[in-house]
Chains A and B, each alone.
Chain A
Amino acid sequence: SQTIHQWPATLVQPVGSPLSLECTVEGTSNPNLYWYRQAAGRGLQLLFYSVGIGQISSEVPQNLSASRPQDRQFILSSKKLLLSDSGFYLCAWKGIANTGELFFGEGSRLTVL
């Protein structure tokens, strides 16, 4: 069966520090991968998506970047965090077929102080 795991679960970082959130998927090949952010009490905002290794699309200009060094690995990064980067980050995957739902990881809660 397929599983998705992301870490760390909780992170408290000072402004200006770097960030790295990692997401891995097991039990499937060539998944579509997504990073979403959920600000406190709000909906989900799509940040990045990837249809293959090294292929990253960004939805909104921001202080973050994403990379996909391996088929089932998706990394969210920042060189210098801003206060506005605080939020709940969710990684998700989907099979390549047209049908199908997103499956989400456990989420990573980032607080920038």
Chain B
Amino acid sequence: AQKVTQAQTEISVVEKEDVTLDCVYETRDTTYYLFWYKQPPSGELVFLIRRNSFDEQNEISGRYSWNFQKSTSSFNFTITASQVVDSAVYFCALSERIYNFNKFYFGSGTKLNVKP
């Protein structure tokens, strides 16, 4: 079974629209971490945010906001007033501790196309 599911394969929006990228995860651990990464066309993955399982406060950073809900095992990412530079593939990830090692599970990614 998939540990991290990003059901939206590709989304297209027009500039200035708001867009939400969905992420659903599965874990039996009580302590875990959730992440979002951005992969622009250059290919390198850029870290955006980390949340731990004990902190359900939503977070806002400029035009970006994240909604973490343990009750639904979701960690959704919203971009407000999207811009062309937001066009990229976005990955959601889950980290679990296994002995002395953190294993990271990535979703399949959501490709966001922002059109001018």
Instruction: Say what secondary structure dominates the interface of chain A.
Output: strand
On whether the beta carbons of A44 and B91 are closer than 8 Å, the reply is yes
| Residue B106 interfacial (CB < 8 Å) | yes
Would A94 and B44 count as touching, CB distance under 8 A? no
Which A48-78 residues have a C-beta within 8 angstroms of B? 49, 51, 57
Complexed CA–CA distance, A107 and B39 (Å): 11
Docked-complex contact B100 and A101, CB < 8 angstroms = no
Chain B residues whose CB sits within 8 angstroms of the CB of A32 once the complex forms = 101-102
Interface size class of A (residues with CB under 8 A): 20 to 34
Tell which of B35, B42, B107 touches A101, judged by Cβ atoms closer than 8 Å. B35
* The one of A51, A100, A102, A105 that contacts B100, using a Cβ cutoff of 8 Å: A51
Distance A34 CA – B104 CA, assembled complex (angstroms): 10
**Are A43 and B108 within 8 A (Cβ)?**
yes
Known: A99-B52, A101-B35, A101-B50. A46 touches B104 (CB 8 A): yes
Q: Is A7 part of the binding interface, using a Cβ–Cβ cutoff of 8 Å?
A: no
A51 near B101 with CB under 8 A, answer: yes
What's the dominant secondary structure at chain B's contact region?
strand
Question: Is the Cβ of B101 less than 8 Å from the Cβ of A49?
Answer: yes
Q: What's the Cα separation between A34 and B45 when bound, in Å?
A: 14
Chain A residues lying within 8 Å of B108, measured Cβ to Cβ, are: 42-43
How far is B106's CA from A105's CA once the two chains are assembled, in angstroms?
16
B33 contacts the other chain (CB 8 A): yes
Cα(A88)–Cα(B35), bound, Å: 21
Give the residue of A42, A57, A98, A102 whose beta carbon is less than 8 angstroms from that of B104.
A102
Asked if residues B43 and A107 are in contact (CB atoms below 8 Å), the reply is yes
Using CB atoms and an 8 Å cutoff, list the residues of chain A in contact with chain B: 32, 34, 36, 42-44, 46, 49, 51, 57, 88, 90, 92, 94, 96, 98-107, 109
A-B contact pairs, 13 of them (CB 8 A): A32-B102, A44-B106, A49-B103, A51-B101, A92-B45, A101-B33, A101-B95, A102-B104, A103-B47, A104-B37, A106-B43, A106-B44, A107-B43
**A-contacting residues of B (Cβ < 8 Å)?**
31, 33, 35, 37, 42-45, 47, 50, 52, 91, 93, 95, 97, 100-104, 106-109
Listed from nearest, the 6 A-B pairs whose CB atoms lie closest are: A43-B108, A104-B45, A44-B106, A107-B43, A101-B47, A101-B50
